[in-house]
Structure 1
Amino acid sequence: MSPPTLYHFPLSPPSRGAVIAAKIIGVPVEVKIIDLMKKEQFNESFIKINPQHCVPTLDDNGFVIWESRAIACYLADKYGTNDDIYPKDLQRRAIVNQRLYFDSSFVYPRIRAICYPIIYDGVTEIKEKLKNDLNATLGFLNQFLEDSKWVAGEHLTIADTAILASLTSILEVGWDITPFPNIERWLQSCTSIPGYEDNLEGAKIFASIVKKNLK
């Protein structure tokens, strides 16, 4: 049985989140790059695998799934040996799931709402409402971290990898997080996560595209 294949684009925050999740779970994956800027996601061969043509996409010996957080959960359940990363205890798992959904419903959409119009639609400044929306979301994240080392408790989980991948993208654009000391402390802890440097490299490239289009 061959290792799972992960179709990936390093500029994509969710895609980077799936790669880091695989690293902390300890499952080797064969990474195949799908260059979204070159529109490789529309290649017929990729659309056959994923008609929604998005990354990340996982192909585990014929079982195909996409959506980065779903991929992380699947890999943790199938290949994980450390129960802390995605706990089987229902209440602990529920907290991890809540944080994953918080990333998919709030953190990443707020960042996407700022960055994608700048990258693709010729927008050259960040509207005040979008700044306020993201800062309100960061306020909640700061509260989650008030009494715990990681976003879902005292152990590193796949929720941390998802939120880290989202957040580093906007931080590299230059977002001010000094009002959120718990996030600053957590980010320092995140430097020890396997794959942190690779994620940061992708975030820097993503941010460079945003910054060059800003006034």
Structure 2
Amino acid sequence: MSTSTIKLYHFSVSSPSRGALLAARVIGVPVEIVIIDLMKKEQLNESFIKINPQHCIPTLDDNGFVIWESRAIACYLADKYGKDAIYPKDLQRRAVVNQRLYFDSSFLYPRIRAICYPIIFEGVTEIKDKLKDELNNSLDFLNQFLDGNKWVAGDHVTVADTAIIASLTSILEVGWDISNFSNIQRWLKDCASLPGYEENLEGAKSFGSIVKKNLKQ
């Protein structure tokens, strides 16, 4: 099946956008990357709003089928182009993957965002203890998910891993301490061998540098 016209509207500083691209890399589906620079507000260009009226990144255009939201993109690509293990057809195994995806979208990523976005956009220079505790609480849950599991949803890498990798590497590049989470440390070492991991890391470093330059030293 031809995949030559799959476009991913992408900005590497955005961890959700990197999550979608990392999923595509792990699945092995080629995508044409179209950069939408959020810092320059290119997402508000009329041409992009015609494609996605919600004007958010990432956005996927697969031969005229347009979908946005990074985890929805990852699941779509996995269902259409991936092998079964990346997004299992078995309902119970898939339910675990979905739970981990919703954990990322409802807990992990929002808590990272709550820390970083006020620093980037609102002049905040310090991280409140409450926000630190909330994120570490989510990391404790992630550490528990990995207890006895090679990957976050079991024995095989899935789209849950690609989403969480993108979120987690962003805050790690800000300098977050995960020394108390041994399972996460082990998992990250395994993640380093995945296709697209270094590409994701480059974007995470760019994100981290933006946050760190605004933090009080």
TM superposition shift of 1:26: 1.1
Please say if residues 3 and 28 of structure 1, whose CA atoms lie closer than 8 Å, have aligned partners that are also in contact. Answer: no
- In the alignment, the residues of structure 2 paired with residue 79 and residue 190 of structure 1 have an alpha-carbon distance, to the nearest angstrom, of 21
User: Which residue does 1:162 correspond to in 2?
Assistant: 163
Q: What amino acid is aligned across from residue 99 of structure 2 in structure 1? A: Q
User: Which residue does 2:173 correspond to in 1?
Assistant: 172
- In the alignment, the residues of structure 2 paired with residue 110 and residue 79 of structure 1 have an alpha-carbon distance, to the nearest angstrom, of 31
TM superposition shift of 1:69: 0.2
| Structure 2 stretches lacking a partner, 5+ long | none
| Structure 1 stretches lacking a partner, 5+ long | none
Q: SS at the partner of 1:10?
A: coil
TM superposition shift of 1:3: 2.8
User: Which residue does 1:73 correspond to in 2?
Assistant: 75
- In the alignment, the residues of structure 2 paired with residue 128 and residue 65 of structure 1 have an alpha-carbon distance, to the nearest angstrom, of 37
TM superposition shift of 1:106: 0.5
- In the alignment, the residues of structure 2 paired with residue 59 and residue 15 of structure 1 have an alpha-carbon distance, to the nearest angstrom, of 14
Q: SS at the partner of 1:167?
A: helix
Q: SS at the partner of 2:61?
A: strand
User: Which residue does 2:48 correspond to in 1?
Assistant: 46
User: Which residue does 1:8 correspond to in 2?
Assistant: 10
Report how many residues are paired: 214
Deviating beyond 6 angstroms after TM superposition, the runs of 4 or more aligned structure 1 residues are none
TM-score (norm 1): 0.98
TM-score (norm 2): 0.97
> Quick one: which of 13, 18, 35 aligns to 2:37?
35
TM superposition shift of 1:79: 1.0
After TM superposition, the structure 1 = structure 2 runs for residues 1-215 of structure 1, keeping only pairs within 5 Å, are: 2-80=4-82, 82-215=83-216
Q: What amino acid is aligned across from residue 152 of structure 1 in structure 2? A: A
**C-alpha root-mean-square deviation of aligned residues, in Å?**
0.7
Q: SS at the partner of 1:177?
A: coil
Q: What amino acid is aligned across from residue 162 of structure 1 in structure 2? A: A
